[in-house]
Amino acid sequence: MYRLKGCRELRNRAPQIAINWFNTFSSSRSTHSVSFVTNITAEDISGSRPAEVQNLVQGKWTRSCNWNTVVDPLNGESFIKVAEVNEREIQPFVESLYKCPKHGLHNPFKSPERYLMFGDISAKAAHLLSLPEVSDFFTKLIQRVAPKSYQQAFGEVYVTQKFLENFSGDQVRFLARSFAVPGNHLGQQSHGFRWPYGPVAIVTPFNFPLEIPVLQLMGALYMGNKPVLKVDSKVAIVMEQMLRLLHECGLPVEDVDFINCDGKTMNKLLLEAKPRMTLFTGSSRIADKLAVDLKGRIKLEDAGFDWKILGPDVLEVDYVAWVCDQDAYACSGQKCSAQSILFMHENWGRSPLIAKIKDLAARRKLNDLTIGPVLTVTTEAMLEHKNKLLQIPGSKLLFGGEELENHSIPAIYGAIKPTAVFVPLEEILKDDNYELVTKEIFGPFQIVAEYKDNQLPMVLNALERMHAHLTAAVVSNDVLFLQDVIGKSVNGTTYVGLRARTTGAPQNHWFGPAGDPRGAGIGTPEAIKLVWSCHREIIYDVGPIPHNWEIPPST
């Protein structure tokens, strides 16, 4: 836990409306502190001053008899202690979910005032995240555990803050909007309602330690569910702090459980607690296992081998090169939306595009974290993958393919320069190569291929064979070309046009896969309603009975 220093000075700088709100919000506490943090800053966490992460169950913060030590991804120093729950300690979490009824903590007929409560919580949390010192605190905390540039980490805080703004006031209530259809006779009407699942679970990955868990957690709460939340232990400190902030904003401490544990323990918890719905964001392999274990009661936002197609119209080469660099290498490629493969029309191949991407990638440095540790793939594994690709006839290394220089990143993580490997389109489509080429490397690594006008069907065939359909980009202002590619592809979040990208999950549009009935979205009202509620139909049939009604013959 951490203390925000200088809140009194911050208040002196804030607009008067913010000061008035802050005074009201903090009237029961010291005027110079916010109690969700303790007295060190994110930068101070180190082996000599390790931070601690606790669990939250049944309204109480708890420790464990086991402590998992998280190593600093930049130097290998043990700098965070996580109270990790083992399989023998899950019973309080099981009991907590059991206490939540299937009809949830609130629904349109039960405790509707809680919809308003969550609108207020969202407003207060959005305001706190908008304060410069709070925003800076979370940005730097994200950087400590999932190293990325300040701008990339701040973007995560900004999206979270805007999401909370979006669901302030009456917007939570509007998520539960119903509809009515006239019946067959007087007194009969059918009403459709969005209904909570009740006890639910959320499992989220390391790469967006604030944005993904907050957006999914709040969506679950808005609709009336009681969630247990597990984030990757490497980054759990971020969400622990955010939960404490939400408690300060009025979130009842019993409404959310927070567990730190390994995958095996979480799997056991899910099997014993039997949540009515589980949201899983992570690898396809684990997603498929959970889908079987949980008998389909799951929504998934799993792996993304994401593609970009550059159409025949070559425009704004500098801009397109910059977007390609950002899509492939920002956050060291550790985005589920990262550009994994680039199909460029031969017209682009004759342009300086690749040279420009290479120059942009070369600007990335470890000292500003525009390139940094890869937390799920080792250097050895990424270089081995590169070498296998280079054995394909006609393939070549365009740039990168080497370990970062002068670094202290521990060997359990990866550290390579931004890398691009060219593979001929004809070779990609061969059965012996396709699985290798389309293997997702969750790091700064992409495949590049070139196609001619008459080879677009081959590109579309490559897309059809992919199993993950998360994000995509079609970079072209040729409307007929766009129609052809869009109409013959699937990806759930697809950008098209000259400024198209693969990355970007702002709060203003749906982000999620398509083509899979288990697919989960995030961020928008449609995503929240799809993932965190189900449809319930209530048919009112109150009469009157016709005056001349008689018992009819049996049917």
Residues with active-site annotation: 301, 336
Chain centroid to CA 115:
24
Contact (CB, 8 A) for 76 and 410? yes
Contact (CB, 8 A) for 520 and 170? no
Residue 345 DSSP class: E
- Please, what's the largest Cα pairwise distance for the chain? 93
CA-based nearest residue to 374, from 343, 335, 406, 337: 335
Return the sign of the alpha-carbon dihedral for residues 194, 199, 202, 203: negative
CA-based nearest residue to 287, from 276, 300, 274: 300
Q: Which residues contact 244 (CB under 8 A, 6 or more apart)?
A: 1, 35, 36, 37
Q: How far is the C-alpha of 229 from the C-alpha of 281, rounded, in Å? A: 12
Mapped onto helix, strand or coil, the DSSP state of residue 274 is coil
Q: CA-CA distances (angstroms) from residue 430 to 339, 390, 435? A: 22, 15, 9
CA-based nearest residue to 514, from 526, 499, 525: 526
Q: How far is the C-alpha of 308 from the C-alpha of 209, rounded, in Å? A: 26
Placement of tokens 């500098």 in the chain: 318
Contact (CB, 8 A) for 386 and 421? yes
SS (H, E, C) 47-82: CCCCEEECEEECCEEECCCCEEEEECCCCCCEEEEE
Backbone angles phi, psi at 382, to 5 degrees: -70, -40
CA-based nearest residue to 428, from 453, 385, 393: 393
At 7, which helix (H) or strand (E)? helix 7-13
Residue 404 DSSP class: P
